[in-house]
Amino acid sequence: MIWSVEENQAASDPLEVCKDIVKSGVNQGSDEYKQCRDFVRVGNYGVRLTDWRLKKTRLYTFTAWKLSGIAAEFPKEQEEPVRKDLTTRFGAPADKDAWRGPDGASIRIFSDAPALNGDGSGKDEKTILVFIVAR
């Protein structure tokens, strides 16, 4: 699967920040230190991108420096257009909620999922989630 994201060039490079944290050895028992160590040594990490204007959140997961999964959130009212787009791109679903990409990726849609925003502000807001697991 191919994807790209435009990064803020003025922001700090997350890999360099984590290298500095690991090199410093400070707070070795903290979750931040352990996550940075895992990122630097093994390449396991996640990226969350949120477009507040469009009410969309995407989570990208990397394992051993390779894209291993994507979770994309859409407002509930966009469910039918999203389903139509997935069917147009990947053909008829294998079952009602699952498609298979040409590269073997597994694509699944979940209706009435809780919001991904993680702050609890949208806990009653219904969304749909599209999970893509790379092969």
Residue 4 pLDDT > 50: no
Higher pLDDT, 100 or 54: 100
| pLDDT computed for residue 5 by the predictor | 46
Domain count, the chain: 2
Residue 25: domain span: 13-42
DSSP string, 8-33: -TTSPPHHHHHHHHHHH-TTTTSHHH
**Residue 70 belongs to some domain of the structure:** yes
**Residue 117 belongs to some domain of the structure:** yes
| pLDDT computed for residue 3 by the predictor | 42
| pTM for the model | 0.69
Tens digit of each residue's pLDDT (9 = 90 or more) over 35-57: 889 899 998 888 888 877 776 78
What is the pLDDT confidence band of residue 98, given thresholds at 50, 70 and 90?
very high
